[in-house]
């Protein structure tokens, strides 16, 4: 039997999430079996897995010492310099300029080399996160960024900050997220692309379709940043956040993103690979602008943060100019 007092860092989350982090090596089947057997209690009372825990409450887990030893193993950490640009950091959040080609979270093929692991390692050696003692909350990204998209991504260091950021990214009324994209063709000064999108679960490709046919509404606001001969650098504000939204929307208007292997112009992509050694989509999460946001992040009201373009993309733009 284990007894744990909920700290302020661990409060305001579902108890099943707390248990999964506390028994970090336990199979999910074992964790949910504890709830079915009523082997998880709060202040002496059995609770369901969706119960939200509060600061100061006493959690009791009915597991043996052998099970605790097996399922609660220390996480390995390696002392190294943080390899990514930190755009902004305070006690609640950290904004990183993610390089192209790096996963935010692990997938079936790669679990170790991820931005999240780098961030957790960095915070561990700063003394702001200990995976072996902070059982309730793990610092986490508040939104997604594709592997082959570079740019700004926000991590929360506390649960309250994560809840606040996730709500901002979901509602999108008090936060503006802008991308830079190099597209083929002479783009007009401004265009709103309001076209529903549908993802094919088998191929993973996204297409424009009608809402009555299952498409989800998707809105992108696109403005010109700079014209080049045969190309345009555009600013894209995402009003919605559908999978591949920017790439599909721009391709649907005959302005495909340079280097896009799924929806782009394959001949020009080949030319860019030959000329510049560039074989990814030219898409960069450029800025986050906070508006009238609530606590605990209200001190960021009206602040804007930007991420520098990678060196190779800067070089390409200078040669196109």
CA distances from 55 to 13, 42, 161, 296 (A): 10, 11, 16, 17
Q: Which residues are catalytic?
A: 146
pLDDT at residue 65, rounded to an integer: 84
Nearest to 218 by CA among 247, 258, 257: 247
Which of 290, 282, 286 shows the shortest CA–CA distance to 306? 286
* Domain ranges across the chain: 2-71, 85-166, 173-320
Length of the chain, in residues: 321
Encode the chain (321 residues) as per-residue pLDDT tens digits: 888 898 877 788 889 988 988 887 888 899 999 999 999 999 999 999 999 999 999 999 999 888 887 887 656 666 778 999 999 999 999 999 999 999 998 655 555 689 998 999 999 889 888 776 665 678 999 998 989 999 999 999 998 899 999 999 988 899 999 999 999 999 999 999 999 999 998 899 999 999 989 999 999 999 999 999 999 999 999 999 899 999 999 999 999 999 999 999 999 999 999 999 998 999 999 999 999 999 999 999 999 999 999 999 999 999 998
- Round to whole Å and give the CA distance between 147 and 143: 13
The 10 Å CB-count burial string (b at 16+, else e) for 180-219 is bbbbbeebeeebebebbbbbeeeeeebbbeeeeeebeebb
* Per-residue pLDDT at 164: 95
> For the domain 173-320, what is the CATH code?
3.30.2350.10
Asked, colleague to colleague, whether 2-71 and 85-166 share their fold, the answer is no
CATH architecture of 85-166: 2-Layer Sandwich (3.30)
User: For residue 135, what pLDDT is reported?
Assistant: 58
Sign of CA dihedral 40, 42, 48, 49: negative
3-state SS, 95-151, equals: EEEECCCCECCCCCCCCCCEHHHHHHHHHHHHCCCCCCCCCCCCCEECCCCCCCCEE
Is-contact 308 85, C-beta < 8 A?
A: yes
Per-residue confidence (pLDDT) for residue 132, from 0 to 100: 66
Strand partners, 155: 94, 141
Note the pTM of the prediction, 2 decimals. Answer: 0.79
Gap between the Cα atoms of 11 and 13, Å rounded:
6
Is the domain covering 2-71 a CATH 3.40.50.970 domain? no
């Amino acid at each position: 039997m284990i007894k744990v007092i909920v700290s302020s860092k661990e409060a305001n989350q579902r108890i099943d999430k707390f248990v999964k982090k506390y028994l970090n090596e336990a199979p999910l089947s074992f964790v949910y079996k504890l709830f079915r057997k009523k082997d998880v209690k709060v202040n002496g009372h059995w609770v369901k897995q969706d119960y939200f825990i509060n600061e100061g409450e006493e959690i009791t887990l009915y597991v043996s010492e052998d099970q605790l030893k097996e399922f609660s193993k220390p996480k390995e950490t390696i002392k190294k310099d943080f390899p990514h640009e930190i755009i902004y950091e305070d006690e609640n959040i950290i904004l990183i300029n993610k390089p192209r080609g790096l996963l935010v979270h692990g997938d079936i093929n790669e679990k170790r080399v991820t931005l999240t692991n780098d961030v957790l390692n960095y915070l561990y050696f700063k003394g702001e996160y200990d995976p072996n003692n902070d059982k309730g909350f793990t610092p986490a990204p508040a939104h997604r960024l594709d592997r082959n998209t570079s740019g700004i991504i926000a991590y929360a260091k506390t649960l309250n900050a994560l809840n606040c950021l996730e709500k901002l990214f979901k509602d999108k009324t008090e936060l503006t997220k802008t991308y830079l994209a190099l597209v083929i063709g002479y783009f007009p000064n401004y265009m709103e692309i309001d076209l529903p999108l549908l993802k094919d679960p088998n191929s993973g490709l996204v297409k424009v379709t009608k809402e009555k046919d299952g498409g989800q509404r998707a809105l992108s606001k696109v403005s010109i940043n700079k014209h080049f001969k045969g190309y345009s650098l555009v600013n894209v504000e995402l009003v919605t956040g559908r999978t591949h939204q920017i790439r599909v929307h721009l391709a649907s208007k005959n302005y495909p993103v340079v280097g896009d292997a799924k929806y782009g112009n394959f001949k020009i992509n080949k030319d860019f690979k030959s000329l510049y050694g560039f074989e990814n989509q030219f898409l960069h999460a450029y800025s986050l602008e906070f508006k009238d946001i609530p606590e605990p992040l209200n001190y960021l009201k009206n602040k804007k943060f930007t991420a520098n373009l990678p060196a190779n993309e800067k070089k390409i733009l200078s040669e196109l100019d």
